[in-house]
Amino acid sequence: MRQTVTQLADGRGLIFFDDTEPYVGGAATRAAHDRRELPTVVAASEVRIDPLTGDPVTFAAHRMDRTFLPSVAECPLCPTRPGASTEIPADDYDVAVFENRFPALSSGGGSTGGRCEVVSFTADHDARFADLPVTRARTVIDVLASRTAALSSLPGVQQVFCFENRGVEIGVTLEHPHGQIYAYPFLPPRTQTLLERARDHHERTGRSLQRDILDAERRTGTRVVWSGEWWTAYVPAAARWPIEVHLAPHRDVPDLTALVDAERDELALAYRGMLGRVDRFFDGLDRVPYIAAWHQAPVGDGREHGRLFCQIFSLRRAPDKLKYLAGSESAMGAWISDTTPERIAERLRELAP
């Protein structure tokens, strides 16, 4: 993989990650020529703490006018072509990462700090992650690990969160296959809860909570969907969503940066495979909306209790129905499931290629 660091017309950073020739071998070099006339990004976010719950809420009013479901001809993640200049000033590319033009987290004179990046997985607008070549899936994993390391070193960053939103039902504003990376200047509520539970478990037992859960799932096997030499995919015993699967490494690692080559190789196959099974979950559908969320250990305090895992889930509960978070879930945080984890696991096992 070869990296080329450059800038967009408004000064935002852009990085090309190449895994194909002639660029990966150095026979050719990337040179971005962003000829657009863009104003400097002014994005001042503010974080306020809810005094009732202690949860941080980020206010990013500049995002109200962000690009929303453009046509293919106007897609900002497609390569630049005659008459259509995009966020990626090249006629083709492998993987590209750039600073979000409408970031949820940005210092910009506000009180938030942090950073938001977009990761475009491919130049092909109609592709989906599950259909990418395994070599490209591995490149994306390496890119996420590389950006995790870089963003973790920024002053004030407390956690790096990599994720993919797929499908208009999820709320995506761009349909081109892409992910995002948030470098939080605070610990999100879910991370705080995970750390508190892990810390309490360690104080009682001296062991890792996530490791104990993984070992228990592998022993019983009831909810295991797939297991390899380095990774296991299983449906959690208290799955909240109609489709949910966790992909966890067998080795205790804090984040993507800590994975060795063999673990990354198998992950490229497993991750791509799990997304493919999710897409085939319902007969008659070939694209299911999902969120793929990489939970990583925080940068500072509590890092010793964090453990990497990927949570893949969908709010689709039937081919023509979505799970809406109504009164009990939205107001009280008390989840009610219309299925069981065992049924989810059984269906995902049936979908093995």
Q: Catalytic site residues?
A: 178
**Cα(166)–Cα(286) distance, integer angstroms:** 13
Q: Which long-range contacts (CB under 8 A, 24 or more apart) does 280-284 make?
A: 280/351, 281/243, 281/314, 281/316, 281/347, 281/348, 281/351, 282/316, 282/318, 282/319, 283/319, 284/319
Beta-bridged to residue 227, according to DSSP, are 232
Instruction: Please name the residue that has the structure tokens 């206010």.
Output: 59
Cis peptide before 236 (omega within 30 of 0): no
DSSP string, 24-64: TTTSS----------PPP----EEEE-TTT--EEEE-GGGG
Surface-to-core class of residue 337, CB atoms within 10 Å of its CB (0-12 exposed, 13-18 middle, 19+ buried): middle
First to last CA, the chain: 28
Q: Which residues contact 138 (CB under 8 A, 6 or more apart)?
A: 264, 265, 268
Q: Which of 266, 271, 245 is nearest to 343 (CA)?
A: 245
**Cα(196)–Cα(278) distance, integer angstroms:** 30
Sign of CA dihedral 260, 265, 270, 273: positive
